[in-house]
């Protein structure tokens, strides 16, 4: 007996739509949730940029080529380029913290 499964998409959320409204939250709640999510994304991107700037600054201070940094961090040269060019979507915060630690720049977190 042969069975087939159809992969039908029932709904597609348009780009730029409020996902919380699409999920059925009341408009006021959906807007509040969307604003909270946006603030969180902005904060996380800011942290990633700060960490990337520290790495790029260390590279510049030590006059190293990206290939040399890649060998020291045990990553590919294009990954170093992605850090220097602040391609934040390609890295997690913990990956950047690990890189800094390997460079002898341990990260301290202050909550305030």
Q: Is the pLDDT of residue 91 over 70?
A: yes
107 within domain boundaries? no
If one compares 72 and 11, the residue with the highest pLDDT of the two is 72
pLDDT digits (tens, 9 = 90+) for 35-52: 999 999 999 999 999 999
Residue 96 lies in a domain: yes
91 within some domain = yes
Instruction: State the pLDDT at residue 49.
Output: 97
- Cα torsion through 35, 41, 47, 49, rounded to 10: -120
Note down the domain range covering 74: 20-102
Number of domains within the chain? 1
At residue 9, the pLDDT reads 76
Arithmetic mean of pLDDT over the chain: 92
Distance between CA atoms of residues 35 and 23, nearest Å: 15
Kindly report the CATH number assigned to the domain that includes residue 69: 1.10.260.40
Q: Is residue 15 part of a domain?
A: no
Whether pLDDT at 1 is above 60 = no
Q: What is the band of 12 on the pLDDT scale with cuts at 50, 70, 90?
A: confident
Rounded Cα distance, 20 and 29, in Å: 8
Dump the DSSP string for 62-81. TT--HHHHHHHHTS-HHHHH
pLDDT band at 19 (very low <50, low <70, confident <90, very high): very high
What is the value of pTM for the model shown? 0.81
Phi-psi region of 6 (alpha: psi -120 to 50; beta: other; left: phi over 0): beta
Please state, in angstroms and rounded to a whole number, the distance separating the CA atoms of residues 4 and 2.
7
Does residue 8 fall inside a structural domain? Answer: no
Residue 43 lies in a domain: yes
d(CA 20, CA 41): 16
Evaluate whether residue 72 is within a structural domain.
yes
Higher local confidence (pLDDT), 53 or 112: 53
Q: How far apart are CA 58 and CA 56, in angstroms?
A: 5
């Amino acid at each position: 007996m042969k069975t087939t499964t159809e992969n039908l998409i029932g709904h597609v959320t348009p780009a730029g739509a409020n996902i919380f409204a699409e999920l059925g939250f009341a408009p006021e709640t959906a807007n509040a949730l969307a604003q909270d999510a946006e603030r969180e994304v902005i904060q996380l991107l800011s942290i990633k940029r700060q960490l990337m700037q520290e790495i790029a600054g260390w590279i510049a201070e030590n006059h190293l080529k990206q290939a040399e940094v890649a060998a020291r961090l045990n990553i590919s040269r294009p990954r170093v380029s992605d850090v220097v060019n602040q391609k934040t979507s390609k890295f997690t915060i913990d990956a950047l913290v690990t890189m800094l630690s390997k460079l002898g720049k341990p990260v301290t977190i202050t909550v305030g």
